[in-house]
A and B are shown apart, each in its own frame.
Chain A
């Protein structure tokens, strides 16, 4: 019984590619924060308490421009609203051992990538698995920011930039196999990716932030998938 459930070790293993991807992103966040005049310690504290890329980068610019706290709250709410969708989605596949205290704690670690990996698991998610999955990405995100902030530049630029694609490689490994097998997943991904390109390249939409773009594409594509490709009763368990 116990061995059938997702454990801490499996979470830790699944967290390795996420952590590797986070290292290079948080490293560049550390550099950006220091270049905007924040102490490296402050940059590291931001990473340890927020654990999100787009929101932190937006937060940096608000701090640098001495914006209001209300502006900060609204920006974080809009940019990170996608996490509410992810939390809601993930809350549906939690193991019964996921009691309230575990939910309060594990909720802190829900990021795009951690959500994607956890929801890609065929089994129900346990607290142990989530903590394992969150640990390395959290450490890498914090350590990367620290290193970036202190050293400015440690790795040769070519190596640093090649590591930047790691996260996307992981995304592709998650959505390509199911998209091959399910027309609904394929169409959902295609609609979402197509809309994302439109929002990025059509000048009319240039003011739409990347966080908000993800919200719009997600809502529209997932609604289209659910409307035109409802799953069979047996698959929807």
Chain B
């Protein structure tokens, strides 16, 4: 590896680590503000919503198989199934639809 490449990787890794580490290490006290507490409570759900919709529709070979996977995942999640079960159902549904589209249509 060249020095230049090492410098790129060093900067990449360094900045990414600092962004993760500083808030994690600095905030040692429990936050008192109601608004900030509620805001932070909603952050994960907001992140997940933004990351999942609409990206999930482009996560497989076609929007149709992705929609099938999404439907399967929502149905199982609605029934309070666990992470692995829901993820597996989404993969199986998407794979099944891709197979059907490939060989039956």
**Interface residues, chain A, CB within 8 Å of chain B?**
14, 16-17, 20-21, 38-39, 41-42, 45-46, 49-52, 55-56, 59, 62-63, 69, 72-73, 76-77, 80-92, 100, 103-104, 106-108, 110, 112, 115-117, 119-120, 157-159, 161-180, 184-185, 188-193, 195-197, 200-201, 210, 213-214, 217-218, 220-223, 225-227, 229-231, 236
Contacts and interface: CB of A to CB of B under 8 A. Distances in A.
A166 to B, nearest CB: 5
Nearest to B72: A169
A83 B20 contact: yes
B53 to A, nearest CB: 4
B25 A120 contact: no
Nearest to A160: B61
Given A49-B13, A76-B15, A189 B90 contact: no
Given A171-B48, A188-B46, A225 B12 contact: no
B44 A46 contact: no
Contacts of B85: 173
B60 to A, nearest CB: 5
A76 B12 CA distance: 6
Given A92-B31, A222-B43, A159 B95 contact: yes
Nearest to B39: A226
B15 A77 contact: yes
Contacts of A110: 20, 24
| Interface residue tally on B, bucketed by range | 35 or more
A189 B48 contact: yes
Nearest to A227: B35
B81 A116 contact: no
Contacts of B82: 173
Nearest to A74: B15
B44 A84 contact: no
Contact of A180 (B28, B44, B78): B78
Given A42-B1, A161-B61, A162-B60, A177 B77 contact: yes
A179 B81 CA distance: 14
Nearest to B5: A42
Interface of B: 1, 5, 7-9, 11-13, 15-17, 19-25, 27-28, 30-31, 34-56, 59-61, 65-66, 69-70, 72-74, 76-78, 80-92, 94-95, 98-99, 102
Contacts of B74: 172, 176
Nearest to A63: B8
B91 A163 contact: yes
B49 A190 contact: yes
B42 A221 contact: yes
Contact of B35 (A87, A89, A226): A226
Contact of B11 (A72, A185, A188): A72
Contacts of A214: 47, 50-51
